[in-house]
Amino acid sequence: GNAHYLNSQQKRESNARSYPRRLPMALCEAKGMMVKDADGKTYYDCLAGAGTLALGHNHPVLVEAIEQVLASGLPLHTLDLTTPVKEQFVDELFAILPADLSKRAKIQFCGPSGADAVEAAVKLVKTATGRGPILSFHGGYHGMTHGALSLTGSRSPKENVSGLMPGVHFLPYPYPYRCSFGVGGDEGNRLGSRYIENMLDDPESGIVSPAGMIMEIVQGEGGVIPAPDEWVREMRRVTRERSVPLLIDEVQTGIGRTGKWFAFEHSGITPDVLILSKAIGGSLPLAVVVYDESLDIWEPGAHAGTFRGNQLAMAAGTATLKFIREARLTEHAAVAGEQLMNALLQIQRQADCIGEVRGKGLMVGVEIVDSDQAADRIGSYPAHPQLARCIQQECLSRGLILELGGRHGSVVRFLPPLIITEEQIDDIAWIFGESVMAAQR
């Protein structure tokens, strides 16, 4: 019945309406940060599975690790029973956790998606505290399942979904390009943390005893917005003083992407709960929650999941962590990210439509604005989602895959594999610059 309005391209991604269809091609081959489509055209992949492909496509160490498991006769799936593959994964993961977390850490395998880990983490702190309300942040993204979607701080994905999880309270997240929190006054006022602290102490706010606070250190889907380190430390202080578990969602930022193994390390805090997925499985589905032993009060059997024993994903994850460690890709991500940011800042000087270039490590965003409109009080221009989409298409035609995020999809996001080289950064910056100029015309 519907077939007549679906062209063949739309059928390729899926015939369901929910697919955005902004990247109209079928991919047939991939290596490193390059992918090739059915017509033989190659692209730089700066989406990389939304940050999943830390080592890029088909990295030899990944392929070898997966082939080894397949050739060994080891079981591919064991539910929760342990195997040498699982033990190696846990050892490798615990070795990269900061010491104050690893010595008290418990691990729940969830699976296999980031949203599954978010669900588990929130359920865990609700059990541990015996409380219900959860604090989350405007612009945050935690997944598309009912619970995770309820915690997601943007309106559009929740529209027309009734009966979401109650008891979620959204707090303001720093967004310096659009708003400087409370002006003047003391430090806490400037950071907006005083406001949040007051809400937590105000019986009329209804959030006096929350079960937890969940946040990203750099909002990813929300538009690549890094929270200032002092603000992160303030949130840690405010939650610790009130015995509220702090849940850090590092599904996108984790495993070296921001220039450290975990983005929370930039501010020197320790979370009570750490949520990991994407790169942790080396491009295969895997998700875990790591948490402080004080929260380890679930009865045996209180949580389960059929696919949390995926051996291939654990082997790929171990190989990824090991390679990042040995090749010092966290340091590389910091240096490469700076090179990319500097190249983009250079382009910004010639392009009024670039409102801001921001990011941390190899998680970089470019906010596209309408500079023909009037600037607001702090000198920022309105978002320009149509132009952002146009730039994305111009990039695509020149062989560069980028995704959009942020308010109305007005932020162009760079999430390249951590193995990206200096020359590749020069190339993608050049393509991006050409595309911005072409789209502006």
Contact 278, 114 (CB under 8 A): yes
Binding-site string for ligand PMP from residue 24 to residue 63, where x marks contact by CB under 6 A and - marks none? --------------------------x-------------
Kindly give the interhelix angle for 385-397 and 422-440, rounded to the nearest 10 degrees. Answer: 130
Q: Does 115 bind ligand PMP (CB under 6 A)?
A: yes
In the set 119, 197, 216, 292, which binds ligand PMP (CB under 6 A)?
216
Between 109 and 141, whose beta carbon lies closer to ligand PMP? 141
Give, as one character, the DSSP assignment of residue 1: -
Q: Does 254 bind ligand PMP (CB under 6 A)?
A: no
Question: In 3D, which of 217, 237, 236, 235 has the Cα closest to residue 227?
Answer: 217
Q: Does 403 bind ligand PMP (CB under 6 A)?
A: no
Q: How far apart are CA 64 and CA 297, in angstroms?
A: 39
Q: Which residues in 93-189 belong to E strands, given as ranges? A: 105-110, 134-137, 168-171
Binding-site string for ligand PMP from residue 369 to residue 398, where x marks contact by CB under 6 A and - marks none? ------------------------------
Q: Which residue is nearest to ligand PMP (CB)?
A: 114
Kindly give the interhelix angle for 84-96 and 311-326, rounded to the nearest 10 degrees. Answer: 40
Q: How far apart are CA 303 and CA 121, in angstroms?
A: 11
Handedness of CA 211, 216, 217, 219 (dihedral sign): negative
Phi-psi label, residue 145: left if phi above 0, alpha if psi -120 to 50, beta otherwise: beta
DSSP bridge pairs for 107: 290
Token digits of residue 392? 């994305």
Kindly give the interhelix angle for 329-348 and 311-326, rounded to the nearest 10 degrees. Answer: 80
Maximum distance among all Cα pairs of the chain, rounded to whole angstroms: 65
Going by their DSSP bridges, the two strands 34-37 and 27-31 should be labelled as antiparallel
Distance in Å from the first CA to the final CA of the chain? 40
Look up residue 185 and give its amino acid. G
Q: Determine whether 55 is exposed, middle or buried from the number of CB atoms within 10 Å of its CB (0-12, 13-18, 19+).
A: buried
* Site size for ligand PMP (CB under 6 A): 15
Q: Does 119 bind ligand PMP (CB under 6 A)?
A: no
Distance, CA of 224 to chain centre? 9
Between 282 and 382, whose beta carbon lies closer to ligand PMP? 282
Minimal distance, residue 153 CB to ligand PMP, in Å? 11
Contact 9, 21 (CB under 8 A): yes
Question: Hey, which residues between 282 and 321 contact ligand PMP (CB under 6 A)?
Answer: none
Q: Does 269 bind ligand PMP (CB under 6 A)?
A: no
Peptide bond into 112 cis (omega under 30): yes
Candidate ranges 113-121, 176-184, 327-335, 415-423; the one touching ligand PMP (CB under 6 A): 113-121
Minimal distance, residue 353 CB to ligand PMP, in Å? 26
Between 56 and 143, whose beta carbon lies closer to ligand PMP? 143
Token digits of residue 376? 């607001």
Q: Does 251 bind ligand PMP (CB under 6 A)?
A: yes
Q: Does 152 bind ligand PMP (CB under 6 A)?
A: no
Q: Does 6 bind ligand PMP (CB under 6 A)?
A: no
Minimal distance, residue 142 CB to ligand PMP, in Å? 5
Q: Does 435 bind ligand PMP (CB under 6 A)?
A: no
Minimal distance, residue 15 CB to ligand PMP, in Å? 21
Minimal distance, residue 19 CB to ligand PMP, in Å? 14
Between 88 and 252, whose beta carbon lies closer to ligand PMP? 252
Between 141 and 381, whose beta carbon lies closer to ligand PMP? 141
Q: Does 249 bind ligand PMP (CB under 6 A)?
A: yes
Q: Does 220 bind ligand PMP (CB under 6 A)?
A: yes
In the set 88, 113, 311, 320, which binds ligand PMP (CB under 6 A)?
113
Between 188 and 212, whose beta carbon lies closer to ligand PMP? 212
Binding stretches for ligand PMP (CB under 6 A): 50, 113-115, 118, 141-143, 216, 220-221, 249, 251-252, 277
